Structure 1
Amino acid sequence: MNIIEFENINIGYDYRFLVLKNINLNIKEGEHWVILGANGSGKSTLLKLISNDLYPNTHYEFKKKIFGIEKWDIFDLKKKLGIVTNELQNEFVYQARFASGYEIVRSGFFASIGKKEHHIFTKEQNEKTDEIFDYLDIKVLKDKKASLMSTGELRKCLIARALIYRPKALLLDEPTTGLDIKAQKNFLSLIKRLTSTLSIIIITHHVKEIIEDISHVALIADNCIYKQGLKKDILTSANISKVFDLDIELLSKNNKYYIKED
């Protein structure tokens, strides 16, 4: 089944001023993608398109299907597509800073920012929450308040929250932003573990977030998808230089990619 099936999608304030142009993207179950682009290239808009927070410009004929369905109730979509963004993390930082890790993860059942007074959880929901803490090996965060967590710890809780309904795919926005070197390594190892159970889609401007298990890459430049396909075919110095409008030498070792420093 296709996770994402987009054809001729345009997004803008009106049909004359487009933020994204002629987006064609097909992501299948079992594939792992990175969507790479510079800041301001349209990545955030594409993220909102995938997460169903934006709808295409209707002046053009287009196809927009997620898991084969054109129109989703957002709550139902999040059961199939786990979503973790920096915007979501900021909402927890400012609106649910006294929520425990356990409350953060369980809030996924209601798609809420933390636990609300009217929320009543079933025994089955509590058991599922415990299972996810065990699976991700983050039991140490169960009782820790969001205000006392590091950026990486809170992000792990948000991944656990996104997995509460056992989705078929996980959408991550700049997953290592704000993490120190050790935390980045640990977090990318966690993502690598998840590739065995669901599809991963990472939207980023960091080449270092292209882990070994990524199978496909889409490059965004000039508000459109410049290139897309198998990772080994797309990740070239010429293509990366085009994306970042800079002369870049891209190197690889053991299926990991990095930019050569001067």
Structure 2
Amino acid sequence: MNIIDFENIHASYEERLILKELTLKIKEQEHWAILGANGSGKSTLIKLISSEIHPRQQYTYKKEILGKERYSLLDLKKMLGIITNDLHNYFYTQGAYLTAYEVVLSGHYSSIGIFKHQDFTQEQHDKAMEVLEFLEITHLKDKQVGTMSTGELRKSIIGRALVHEPKAFILDEPTVGLDIKAQINFIELLRKLSKKSTIILVTHHIEEIFEEINHIALIKNQTIFKQGFKQEILTSENISETFDTPLSVGQNGGRYFIQPLH
């Protein structure tokens, strides 16, 4: 099954075109990184996937998610774990009183918080605890969001999506705000998640691309101009073109890094 199957998509905010002629196909059990500079259209692509924005109708296009052209947004939220910094910041500012357990539990209703009218079954409570254990954050069970580190909150939000066992996780700049130790720890968590779900990283940090990621899409000038297997796409020439600066791409133990060319 295709997680994402987009062809010739144009998308805009009001009259301003943000994405054009965009084509992207991601299959189940593939792991992708979508690389691009700030302002290249990465955030718009996430909004397109989450159906916050829609393709412009005057073009002939294909937009299928999980093999369907039509779907309910509630079902989409359950099948795709979309983790953005906007969601992280919303929890931090509006849900500071919530515990990690409540953040995870709220995933069953895709709500920000727990409310009196929500009736949780024992099975749902058990699932929340199972997720905390899988993510190795049971020690955060009663810790409130307002006292958590950035990494702790991000893991809790991943747990909120994980209660539905989504087909894919889409993560926007996932290590922003994390120190070096927390970055390493978080990437190891993503590697663990990759055994359960498709991982799609949307980033401008090549260092976030872990070993299990096997496909790369490069986005520039409002479209994806290169996509394919990691070893074919992550070249010095392609990355230099993507970020519009001379760069050298190196590899060490399955991980990639970049250096400026002088």
Q: What pairs with 1:109-128 in structure 2 (closer than 5 Å)?
A: 109-128=108-127
In 1: Cα distance, 2:13 partner to 2:109 partner: 32
Equivalent-residue separation in structure 1 for 2:64 and 2:46 (angstroms): 14
Q: State the 1:14 CA deviation.
A: 5.7
Are the equivalent residues in 2 in contact too, given 1:7–1:64 (CA < 8 A)? yes
| Worse-superposed segment, 190-199 or 178-187 | 190-199
Q: Is the 1:37–1:221 contact (alpha carbons within 8 Å) kept by the matching residues of 2?
A: yes
Provide the C-alpha distance between the structure 2 equivalents of 1:71 and 1:54, rounded to a whole number of angstroms.
Answer: 14
Superposed displacement of residue 13, structure 1: 3.8
Task: Provide Cα deviations, 1:205-249, integer angstroms capped at 9, x if missing partner.
Answer: 111111110010000011110100000000001111111111111
Q: Which residue of 2 aligns with 1:253?
A: 252
Matches within 5 A, 1:35-46: 35-46=34-45
CA contact (8 A) 1:14 1:57 kept: no
Q: Which runs of 4+ in 1 moved over 4 A?
A: none
Q: Secondary structure at the match of 1:77?
A: helix
Give the equivalent residue in structure 2 for 1:3.
3
- Distance in 2, matches of 1:50 and 1:10, equals 13
2: CA distance, partners of 1:29 / 1:214: 13
Structure 1 residues without counterparts, runs of 5 or longer: none
- Following the alignment from structure 1 to structure 2, what is the Cα–Cα distance between the partners of residues 51 and 202? 15
Cross-structure match for 1:198: 197
1:94 to 2:93 alignment: yes
Quick one: distance in 1 between partners of 2:129 and 2:11?
Answer: 41
Q: Does 1:154 align with 2:164?
A: no
Q: Tell me if the contact between 1:216 and 1:230 (Cα under 8 Å) persists in the aligned partners.
A: yes
Could you give the per-residue CA deviations for residues 182-226 of structure 1, whole angstroms, max 9, x where no partner exists? 000000000001111111011011111111100100000111101
Q: Given the superposition, is the C-alpha separation of residues 102 and 14 from structure 1 closer, same or farther in structure 2, using an over 3 Å criterion?
A: closer
What pairs with 1:143-222 in structure 2 (closer than 5 Å)?
Answer: 143-222=142-221
Q: Aligned AA for 1:175?
A: P
TM-score by length of 2: 0.97
Aligned residue for 1:137, secondary structure, equals: coil
Q: List alignment gaps of at least 5 residues for structure 2.
A: none
Report the AA paired with residue 7 of structure 2. E
State how many pairs are aligned.
261
**C-alpha RMSD of the superposition:** 1.1
Per the alignment, residue 64 of structure 2 pairs with 65
Amino acid at match of 1:216: H
User: Normalization by structure 1: what TM-score?
Assistant: 0.97
Tell me, in whole angstroms, the C-alpha distance in 1 between the residues paired with 2:12 and 2:52: 14
Matches of 2:94 and 2:85, distance apart in 1: 14
